[in-house]
Homo-oligomer: A and B are copies of this chain.
Amino acid sequence: MKCAVCRGPAVIDLRRHNANFCADHFLKFCRDQVVRAIDEHDMIEPGERVLVAVSGGKDSLALWDILLELGYDAEGMTIGLGIGDYSTASTEAAVAFAARRGRRLGRIDLRGDYDYDIPTAAAVTRRVPCSSCGLSKRHLIDRAALDGGYDVVATGHNLDDEAAVLFGNVLHWHTEYLGRQRPVLAERIGRAGSGSERRVFPRKVKPLIRLAERETAAYCVLRGIDYIVEECPMAEGNRHLRYKEALNAVEAASPGAKQAFYFGFLDNAASRFAPDADGADGELRACGRCGSPTTGDLCAFCRLVDRAAGHDPVPVELVRPRRGGAKHRRARS
């Protein structure tokens, strides 16, 4: 197995590119794919300040590392989700990377700062943990980007993630989500209630869309980046992972199928659903508590805090989702 570039010994084969690479040229391949994604979708301008949403997993650490290697002014932000040992180890990986690279890592701890955690929020709301987790992360990272004056938020969604989300959106023909599933969400300017115009949502970009998760993992290994290998214990058996499995089966038989699926969507179908996303936006007001844009009186995050804060922590084991179930297993009191 020889490197497609230098003919030296290869360390990885990329079936969908029908190519093998040595370590150096694989790392270059990864950086090139990120450069191409950023360029093709106008994700980040030179000189802009980037806030990387860091979980401590392979994707977000690879993303942060690549952006730094490419010379971007990228700082990190991580959120302690309170999902037992998994969250502890995730935060440690993020902190270690930031220290090694000498970069600022903003930190929020849900339990310390807002008096709840994801297992407790899942138990209290009786919804899948991923629901309150996604909501919390989106809100807090958007907020940190706006407050910190960052031009853009970068997240580590990779090709497998985007293809699996797309598969889920297509399986249910969630036309609004299909209209919104783009590599870049533009920033939004608005009043969101009284006051002068201001940024109410930061631009959000996904520079890893051209890399598969096997590739971001290999990138971290080759770069000596310690990341948390375990999947989130609360995501086990969830739909997103099932969609990944189904697409993996297709990809195994037809290498490149995922890439064709996702980029074919962007090129040939996404615009047909854009009106559904635009139509769903409506006029935004300011959340009565935190000032974030919302369609109601209180934003979804403040409502979640209202419900979930102040409860005793619910152990992770009691809130694990059932295999195949959309709802979490009811926590015993």
Do the beta carbons of B173 and A268 come within 8 Å of each other? yes
A261, closest chain B residue (CB) = B171
Of the candidate stretches A76-84, A148-156, A252-260, the one touching chain B is A252-260
Considering the chains assembled together, what is the distance between the CA atoms of A178 and B312 in angstroms?
51
Considering the chains assembled together, what is the distance between the CA atoms of A324 and B173 in angstroms?
28
- Name the interface residues of A153-182: CB closer than 8 Å to any CB of B: 170-173, 175
Contact of A268 among B175, B243, B261 (CB under 8 A): B175
Do the beta carbons of B249 and A249 come within 8 Å of each other? yes
List the B side residues contacting A267 at CB < 8 Å. 173
Do the beta carbons of B324 and A171 come within 8 Å of each other? no
A326, closest chain B residue (CB) = B254
The count of chain A contact residues (Cβ–Cβ below 8 Å) is 29
Contact of A253 among B172, B265, B324 (CB under 8 A): B324
Do the beta carbons of A253 and B323 come within 8 Å of each other? yes
Contact of A170 among B170, B246, B249, B326 (CB under 8 A): B170
Do the beta carbons of B246 and A242 come within 8 Å of each other? no
Asked whether A264 is an interface residue with its Cβ less than 8 Å from the other chain, the reply is: yes
A270, closest chain B residue (CB) = B173
- Name the interface residues of A172-203: CB closer than 8 Å to any CB of B: 172-173, 175
Q: How many whole Å from A251's CB to the nearest CB in chain B?
A: 10
Which of A247, A254, A267, A273: most chain B Cβ within 10 A?
A: A254
List the B side residues contacting A323 at CB < 8 Å. 253
Asked whether A239 is an interface residue with its Cβ less than 8 Å from the other chain, the reply is: yes
Q: How many whole Å from A320's CB to the nearest CB in chain B?
A: 16
Do the beta carbons of A260 and B171 come within 8 Å of each other? yes
Considering the chains assembled together, what is the distance between the CA atoms of A267 and B264 in angstroms?
22
Asked whether A19 is an interface residue with its Cβ less than 8 Å from the other chain, the reply is: no
A325, closest chain B residue (CB) = B253
Do the beta carbons of A257 and B171 come within 8 Å of each other? yes
Q: How many whole Å from A239's CB to the nearest CB in chain B?
A: 7
Do the beta carbons of A239 and B254 come within 8 Å of each other? yes
**Can you spell out 24 A-B residue pairs with CB atoms less than 8 angstroms apart?**
A170-B170, A171-B250, A171-B257, A171-B260, A171-B261, A172-B260, A172-B264, A173-B260, A173-B261, A173-B264, A173-B265, A173-B267, A173-B269, A175-B268, A239-B254, A242-B249, A242-B250, A243-B250, A246-B246, A246-B247, A249-B249, A252-B324, A253-B324, A254-B326
If A170-B170, A171-B261, A173-B261 are given as contacts, then 15 extra A-B residue pairs at C-beta distance below 8 Å, sorted by A number, are A170-B261, A172-B261, A173-B260, A173-B264, A173-B265, A173-B267, A173-B268, A239-B254, A242-B249, A242-B253, A242-B254, A245-B249, A246-B247, A253-B323, A254-B326
Interface residues of A (CB under 8 A from B): 170-173, 175, 239, 242-243, 245-247, 249-250, 252-254, 257, 260-261, 264-265, 267-269, 272-273, 323-324, 326
